[in-house]
Each structure stands twice: as structure tokens, then as C-alpha cells.
Structure 1
């Protein structure tokens, strides 16, 4: 297995798309690991499956050669009890240090309703020697109304030497909760993984089931999914541009970004009945259509938002202090982005030319034209510029949808799906590439569900961008990635 994965990644230049651990002892007599590699140039996947014996649940670690596997391997150790031999850092990840080492909640025999007793914590952080280094702990409880994350800085003066980031404080066990659920009930869970990525998660899950059942959804439904996915991208990107301005106290940018985001959220509510676009997607298509009057509402709102967003961009990118704070701050190199399989805005801002809408088209993305903005600098400013460019591309895509959308059905029935078949679905959310892997169980229920969000891929990169910057720059760097804690705490 190790040799095959090395060959696919290092020699054939496949990129790690996701890795899934699965307890298949009841259906196949063992645990299984699935390594999914994507070859963007040929638009093909290769999946490497290896079995892990229950009597000796170990497998060779590849995290040294393929750093992107670090979190995946630690997670299967925590949740399934499969031990990666040779892994350089086996600290708890998803389960914190006070969780008993011998209890693994994604095993099929885990007693879901029993309270797990806690033990003395095994948490460790970087140790510093010398009197000049100051440890600065921040979180997990923060001053603002935000999700929990613990950041422990090692600094000399106000210059950062190292950052330990600790997440997964509110891990909800949604993958476990989905097991045994009918597929449509699991869809309900999928779109609640994250508030601001609700539609992306719902579409990814639906596409995984449709792929498993070999279902082609109606063309009109494909266009409608594209429309709503781009509306989700729009309100996030515009809001994120404003949020980054908060990192250096640029009040005009903060308020204008929030105001424009609110206009788009209100548009969502008028069109879809929900500000965050829940309840739109169904297995086999979408739940409702868009009327001619609603088309007009969308286009007129976008015309207004586009004009006002251009004004905000002109103010932001002509402000010397704003540019000074963003340039050369929080740099992520192209090599780091490749090593960690960074996706989305952060990848494209570092010169990594990937966008799953173009590279593995879904919905109606193969029927519209758009550019993928790429910058080389890898700093906060580059990440802002990618978002700005993508806002205008999203508006263009939505206009093309209205020009091209055909009449027809918006949903199709799914066939009966045999047990223990699996499929994948993916979307390019505002944060980046999101992948859902679903194995269907008996009577069309969920047997195993694995979510690899863009946030899961990108969080390990954030600590690499911090050393050499000053403490006050960390909020700015962190906001420029704009990662969801909830997408990890699934």
C-alpha cells in the first residue's frame, strides 16, 4: 500500500483528494482504509483500498512523505483505533487528551448513548527553552461570539516564533449520528454541518448518493444548483473581504462588507425562504424552482451589489495603510500549499491552480465559462484579491445561468441502491474543495459517512504562515483564511 501511494503521489503527481477509514467488520470482516487520489490533468481518480485486521489494527504511516495525511492518520487512530506505524506525532486530534485511549466512537460496537468517563489529560504543546521566549495562550474561549479554538504562541517580544493550534473543541459526531439514518434524513444532517457552507455540504452529499445510484439529475436542476451555489459563494466572499478589514481596524471596509453581505442574505431569504440556503437540495435534484419574477429580483440585486462592491474594492486597494498591513503578511508558499494539499482561495493565492468546478465539473459548471484567479504571493493581500476576483466571476456565472437555463423537470427519482456501495460528491465552497464520501447500508441507510471539508485541508497550513510575523498580525492572517471551525467539528 505504501509503495502504491508513493508512486501515485510522487511519481504520477496525483493529489490526495481524501482518505477514509471505515469499520467494515460486520460486512467484510475487517477495517478498511481508502486513499483517493485525483489526477487533475486527466480528470481521473485512483482509489487505493487496504484492509486492516481487527486483531492487529495497524497500518504504515505515510505522513512523513505526504504531510497532508497527518490529520487523516491521527483521526483514524482516535475514532477507529487504527494505529499508523511510524507517524511522527500521535497526539490526540479529534478527541482531546482526556478521552480514554481505548474507546473509539466510529467503531460499530461503540455504545452511542453511554457517557464516556474522562481521564487525566494527555495534551502537550511545544516546549521552549530560554528566558527570552514568552508563551501566549489565546482561547479556546474568545472575546467575540466565535467558535472555540486554542492558539498557543511562542514569541520573542512581539515576533512570533511558533504557533500551536488546537481545534475540535465542539466535535459533534455527525458522521456517527448519520449511521443507520435513511438517506434523506442524513441529507438534513449534512446541510447542518456548517451554517455558511450549508448548501455546499448538501450538494456534496446529494451528489455522493446520486453517484452511488448512477443517477443523472435533470439539466434544469443542475443549473439551479449552480445558481444557488454561486449565491452562497457571493455572500461569503463579500462578507469575508469585510471581515479581513476588521483585522487591521479598517471600519469602512468592515461595515460596507457586512452591509452588502446582508443584502445578499436577504435576497436568499426572498428567493429560497432561508438566509443560508437550507432546504433547497433534494436527492435527485432540487425541491423548488425559481420564477421569472425571482430571476429579475436576483439580477437587479446583483447589479446593485456589483456596483457598490467595486466602490469598496477601490477604497480598500488604494488605501496605503491597508495595503501595508496585507502585503507580505502571513505568507504561504506554493510548496507548503502542495505538501498539505491546501485548497480553495488559500491554494490559488499561493499559485496552486486548482478549482474543482473546472477540474471535475458538477452541476452545470461544464456549461458556463469562468476564469480561475491565480496569484503567486501567498500573502493576505493575495487571498483578498482572489476573493475579489471570484466575486465578479460568480456574478458572471449567475447571469449565464439565466441566459441558458432550459425548461424541464427539477428532480428525478432514485433507484434502489444496493447495500455497501459507496460514492463521492464534491463542491467548491467559498472556503474551497469539499468532499463527501458515503457508503450506503442496508435498506438505503447510511453505513459510513466521511466529510472532508476545505477547512479540514487548510487549517494545518495556518500555523506555517505565522512565524516571523508580529502578534497583532495573527487576527489578520487568520481572517484571511476565513476557515470554519464547524466544518472540522463535524
Structure 2
């Protein structure tokens, strides 16, 4: 079987290589230099979208999708026994930070990469690579990290973080400003690097599921779902139908809680604290109901390969249904308040504008991409059940500013309420966990793309014959969103950095592996 037999679109169909038979549901092919370079060229010309880039010893993997059909996905594998490979980031900037991370983790050198500074390695571990498998507790002498320079007689720098004045993860922002106007923002992350890929290696499926759910705590359901889908694809393991619908219920509750929290927090950064107070009350009600129905406020460790561990009863269905009706009514009043408060609109309209071209180039998902004209949602493309049986709209706006990112969240809150009501009305009976028919002596590779509240989460896993994780990679949507914040903030005033940053709300932990 060749790649041409897979009925891929033109942007993928003439890429040839050796197909890895055990990879599911999308093909993975081992390619030579010419195909690797041709793929980079298509990424550069916009006919392909970068979905992920990750490594393992002497191997680099590249996941791409067709720009015009995000359901058409292909994983390319390039062998680099000499420890180097042609850089994707050399021609396609969205790959730069991913390649910097791969260098830190595996010692693989992307030849031609324009930015070779370390990303995850802050000089706190042994200088030997790969730090994915060889670390030291001994503190090293950290080399000074050189931020990109900005020329100008009146340019000054404003350092922000990595320690912040709230309950927030560490990240450093170096603002270069001419007077009060920002001319460059550069983020440095990696402070919460936790060796997640190393911890996953060798873990059994249940241990690995718990680790995956902790990549980014506010997206624990989405990460748990992505990991479960990847494992189930690798082992040809079908969860019960009721479990599939319960997973979607948890995912929409998580999305709803996070969007409500974000809307309030953005308005608070715009000097309108009353929105934060009211949105926080609604969010808290969702978290309390999540605890009552699923046993955990964040629904952490509720999803495992093969199904879910917690069922809901008729009383929970009644409570959640009533809560959705209440939130719909109260949220409409908050939306009207936001839409009629001129002083708040003055802070959000036209602020932090992300150009549509950048959103497309970086494959920005979630509310960031959709607020800048990108029509994307993993629940539709590539799609997964039960969303093919549910009705929902994908809000897309064009202005790309803070106001647009708020409105996309507003529309998605309304859609999530509608989805939750549909799920509760159609929830099938049956079991909630299924044992794998191939639970022993079965290996395989699987990949999944799941829509979290920030956007698409990618999970890739290889399972050995003992049903343990041989390799696993988890990619947060924030990898492609943090660089876009740096673009959107240019030309804004320093005082608008907090509201722009919060309107993006990228994950620190999810980007630090």
C-alpha cells in the first residue's frame, strides 16, 4: 500500500514514503529528505497547516493537515541518526519553538533554525542532552538568556514576571516600548517544565492517563479525552456509547466554566470588576455541580481509556438541566451589561488585534483563531463522537481584537449550554467502561485531536506489547498562540498588556511539557 492509495487531497497525495501499518486513525509515513523538504515548502506556502512537531531519540515527527480540509491529516517521520534534520522553522515560523523544545529534550539539531536559544532548558539541569532522559538535580551556572534586541533612541524595557502578583503560573515577558507604545513583546516560558514525556514513558495506561490529565489543569477533561482517544485508536478499543456522551458532557462543562471565568477576568482587567464577580458566581456553580455529579470540581481523573469512571443519575440530570436554564437567563443579562458599557468597550474594541493572516499561518485554534476569521473546530474537523449527532454553531468573527475574542467566548457559552441540554436529553443507557479486547500482547500507535476550551489538543502515543507507554507526546494549542500574542500587542500601550494577555489566556503549563 502506498500513500497515493489513501485518497488524500492534492496538498498531501503525492507525498511518498513507507507507511507505518500500526498507526491509527491517520497514516504515518517514514520519509526521505526530498519529501521532508517538499512538506516544509507546502507549509511555507500555506497549503498545509502545522498540527504538531515532536521528537524521540534519532527521530523527528511532523503532523500536518490540509488547509482546506482539516480532517485530512498525515504524520511524517524523518530519521536523523546523526542527530540533525532540516529545520521546519527555517521556512515556517510556527515550528520554531517546537524545534527549540525538541533540541532541549532530545539533542536533535534543526539545521537552519533561525533561533537556537534553549526553550525548556533554563540551565538548571545537567548540560548533557537529552534532558528528557538524563537530568541532574545539581544546579548549573545558567547562561544569560539574550532577548531579541530593539533599536531606537527612546526604547526602554519593562520586565514582567516570571513571578506574578496573582495565582498564576510563571512566565517572563520582556516588553520593549517607545514611550508608552509597545514595539516588541517577547515571552520566555519553560519555568514549569515537568518532564511529562519522560514520566509517561514506561507508565501503564492508568498512570499515564492521570499524568496526561495534569498537563494543564484547567483543561484536564480535554487532555484526558485526547489521551483516551489516542490509546483507543492504537488498540482498536471502543468505549461504551454512554461513556462517549458522558465525556462530551464533561468537556462542555469544562468549556463553559473556563469561558465564564475568562470573560469576567478580561472585563476585570478593563476596570469593570462587577463582570468578574457575576461571572465567577456562575463559574463556581458549574464547579460545584461538577463535584456533585462527577466527584471532582475539575472532573480530574474521570476519563480513562475505555470509558469513564463516574456515572450520573437522574437527580444529577435534573440539577444540571436547571442550572443551564438559570445560567442562560443570567448570562444574557451580563452580555447586555458588557455590550452597553461604553467605558469597557473603549478598552476592548480595537485593542490587541491579531491579523487574520497570522492566525491562518500559525493554525491558531479556539477563540483566538475564530476571532480572527479562522473557521476551525476539532469537534467538526476532524470530528469525533458524539458531536456528529449534536447541533451546534461555530462562531467566527473577523476583527481579531480583544472585543472579538470576548464575543467568540460569549457565543461559545451559549452553544455549550445548548450542547449540554442536548446531551442530557439524548444520554443513552448502558455501561460506562469497557475492557480492551486486545488488552495483552497488543502494541500500536494512535493519535487524537480534541477541542479543548483554548483550541485543538493533539495526543500521540505508542504502546508496547506489555500495554505500557513507549512514547507519548501531548501538544497544547498554546504552542501556536503564545507567538501570536507577541504580534497582537505591537503598537498597543503598555497598560493594555494585561487585558490583551488575558484575552489570549494561553497556558503556561501546557507549553512547558
Q: Same fold (TM over 0.5)?
A: yes
1:81 aligns with 2:107: yes
Report SS of the residue matched to 2:500: helix
Change beyond 3 A, Cα 1:446–1:42: closer
Matching of residue 460 in structure 1 with residue 483 in structure 2: yes
CA 1:225–1:83: 2 relative to 1, 3 Å: same
The CA deviation at 1:274 is 0.7
Q: Distance in 1 between matches of 2:130 and 2:306?
A: 34
User: Residue 48 of structure 2 aligns with which residue?
Assistant: 14
On the 8 A contact 1:435/1:453 being kept in 2, the answer is yes
In 2, Cα distance between equivalents of 1:293 and 1:487: 35
Among 203, 211, 214, the residue aligned to 2:236: 214
Structure 1 residues 291 and 76, CA, compared in 2 at 3 Å: closer, same or farther? same
Q: How does 1:101-250 map to 2 (within 5 A)?
A: 101-107=127-133, 110=134, 114-250=136-272
CA distance in 1, matches of 2:493, 2:72: 43
1:130 positional shift: 4.2
1:440 pairs with one of 444, 451, 463: 463
In the alignment, which residue of structure 1 is the partner of 2:311? 289
Cα shift at 1:420: 5.9
- Paired residues in the alignment total 477
Instruction: Verify the 8 A CA contact 1:138 1:152 in the aligned structure 2.
Output: yes
* 2: CA distance, partners of 1:458 / 1:438: 24
SS in 2 for 1:197: helix
Moved more, 331-340 or 410-419: 410-419
**Aligned residue in 1 for 2:61:** 34
Cα pair 2:64 2:75 within 8 Å, conserved = yes
Asked if the contact 1:330–1:465 (Cα under 8 Å) also holds between the matched residues in 2, the reply is yes
Q: CA 1:417–1:90 in structure 2 vs 1: closer, same or farther (change >3 Å)?
A: farther
User: In the aligned structure 2, how far is the partner of 1:164 from the partner of 1:12?
Assistant: 25
When residues 6 and 270 of structure 1 are mapped into structure 2, their CA distance, relative to the original with a 3 A threshold, is: same
Matched, 1:52 2:84: no
Tell me how far 1:363 sits from its aligned partner: 3.2
1:18 shift after superposition: 1.1
Q: Which residue of 2 aligns with 1:479?
A: 502
| Contact 1:203 1:426 (8 Å CA) reproduced | no
Residue 322 and residue 104 in structure 1: after superposition, are their counterparts in 2 closer, same or farther (change >3 A)?
A: same
Distance 1:418 1:332, change over 3 A: farther
The equivalent residue for 1:64 is 90
Contact kept, 8 Å, 1:420 with 1:447, in 2: the verdict is no
Q: Deviations over 1:426-456 (max 9, x none)?
A: 2111111111111113411111111101122
- Residue 13 of structure 2 corresponds to which residue in structure 1? none
Q: Does residue 417 of structure 2 align to residue 395 of structure 1? A: yes
Contact 1:225 1:363 in 2 (8 A): no
Give, in whole Å, the separation in 2 of the partners of 1:284 and 1:7.
Answer: 39
Q: How much is the aligned-residue C-alpha RMSD, in angstroms?
A: 1.7
Deviation, structure 1 residue 70? 0.8
Does structure 1 conserve the Cα–Cα contact (< 8 Å) formed by 2:125 and 2:140?
yes
Is this contact kept in 2: 1:100–1:119, CA < 8 A?
no
8 Å Cα contact 1:248/1:476 also seen in 2? yes
* Stretch of structure 1 that moved more, 331-340 or 384-393: 331-340
Q: Secondary structure at the match of 1:321?
A: helix
Q: Mean alpha-carbon deviation: is it higher for 469-478 or for 114-123?
A: 114-123
Which secondary structure does the structure 1 equivalent of 2:375 belong to? coil
| Residues 1:451 and 2:479 aligned together | no
Partner of 1:299: 321
Provide the TM-score with structure 1 as the length reference: 0.94
Is it true that 1:262 corresponds to 2:296 in the alignment? Answer: no
Report Cα offsets for 1:18-72 as digits up to 9, x if no partner: 112112xxxxxxx21111112362722212111011xx21111121321111111
Query: 1:199-245 CA deviation, whole Å, 9 max, x = no partner?
Result: 11111111110010012222111111111100000000011100101
Name whichever of 246-255 and 436-445 sits farther off.
436-445
Counterparts of 1:334-353 in structure 2, within 5 Å, are 334-353=356-375
Q: Kindly state the Cα deviation for residue 116 of structure 1 after the two structures are TM-superposed.
A: 4.3
Q: Matched residues in 2 for 1:378 and 1:417: separation?
A: 50
- Equivalent positions of 1:369-384 (< 5 A) are 369-384=391-406
Report if aligned partners of 2:443, 2:467 keep a CA contact under 8 Å in 1: no
| Cα pair 2:294 2:311 within 8 Å, conserved | no
C-alpha separation between the residues in 2 aligned to 1:334 and 1:417? 48
Q: Which stretch shifts more, 139-148 or 413-422? A: 413-422
Question: How far apart, in 1, do the equivalents of 2:486 and 2:419 lie?
Answer: 34
Structure 1 residues 134 and 102, CA gap change in structure 2 (3 angstroms): same
Q: Secondary structure at the match of 1:276?
A: coil
State the TM-score, normalized to the length of structure 2: 0.90
The more displaced of 392-401 and 409-418 is 409-418
- What CA distance in whole angstroms lies between the structure 2 residues aligned with 1:336 and 1:449? 29
1:7 CA displacement: 5.4
